[in-house]
Amino acid sequence: MTTSRLNKVIGTLAEGKHVFATFAAADPASAIELGTTDYDAVVFEMEHKPWDINALRDSFQYLLNRRRVFEADSLAPAVTPLVRIPANGAEKAQWHAKQALDLGAFGIVWPHISTVDEARNAVAACRYPRLPDAPRYEPAGLRGDGPHAATRYWGIPNTEYYARADVWPLAPDGEILVGLMIEDQLGIENLPDILDRVPGIGLILIGEGDMSQELGVPRQYEHPRVLECKRRILDICRERGVAVGHPHVTADNVERVLDDGYRFLMSAPVRTYPGLDRGRELTGRG
């Protein structure tokens, strides 16, 4: 069994391809369903859902599908687990990132990042400390040492985990993805400095919900003011070669999303009940 690239999201982005992902609650039932899909990744949503570390641990395990792992001949999960933590960037909640990574998460999505200092903390919280004379020292790591569940989940020994559990693309072979959500005008204004001054940011995800609230047009994602903000983010990231994620991809807008240049596409799984719907129609109860 091979142990090349373990983080499917990083591998796909590094090849210049598109990543397909979704949000899901940290819940074993959701994880089981997602484990058989063609999504590249799932972002376990713990910002607006409870921070339930035991449910997150169980979800990681239930996400693994033994048949798919066997057929792929690779330790890499077919669907890569990422976690959106609860705290906004200004809260600098390093412990949320530490606990998720210690369980085996392959990346952290940080909500509401607005400043260089917040972005630097986000990257640093996902890295182990290094001496100042070590390669790729900055941003100096802050993560505590307790990866035993993570090494079991990744299927590699501790020594190998330490070598690979660094942030990409700061560490070219790193397997940890740091995603920042830009959700307000301050974040947009500071985004060039954030990307220029903080190495190790692998993804920018647009938070168009909070952004539309700030602009006074709640959830009007097609409003001209919201579209202009999104365009500014895309342009800033394109100039610097950083992938941008769109959180609300549907069958109706996916072509435009691709044309706009998004590379991390998040779509919600849709559950249908064709037998129920047809039965109600035929019995006059539609």
Per the structure block, which two tokens stand in for 115? Answer: 């400043």
Nearest by Cα to 208 from 231, 190, 235, 192: 231
For the chain, list the domains and their CATH numbers.
Answer: 8-282 (3.20.20.60)
Predicted confidence band at 149 (pLDDT cuts at 50, 70, 90)?
very high
**Pair 181, 132: CB distance under 8 Å:** no
The amino acid occupying position 71 is E
The verdict on whether omega for the bond into residue 77 sits within 30 degrees of 0, i.e. cis, is no
pLDDT tens string 243-285: 999 999 999 999 999 999 999 999 998 888 999 999 999 999 8
Please, are residues 22 and 248 in contact by the beta-carbon 8 Å criterion? no
H or E element, residue 41: strand 41-45
Helices (H), 157-273: 158-164, 185-197, 208-214, 224-240, 254-260
* DSSP label of 2: B
For the record, the structure tokens of 53 come out as 């570390």
Q: What is the pLDDT of residues 6-30, one digit of tens each?
A: 999 999 999 999 999 999 999 999 9
The sign one gets for the Cα dihedral 218, 219, 224, 226 is positive
pLDDT at 1 over 60: no
Q: What is the dihedral of CA 11, 13, 17, 23, to 10 degrees?
A: 100
CB-CB neighbours of 196 under 10 Å? 11
Q: In this structure, what are the phi and psi dihedrals at residue 157, rounded to the nearest 5 degrees?
A: -70, 165
**Mind listing the pLDDT tens digit for each residue in 16-65?**
999 999 999 999 999 999 999 999 999 999 999 999 999 999 999 999 99
Q: What's the rounded Cα separation, in Å, for the pair 147 and 240?
A: 32
pTM: 0.94
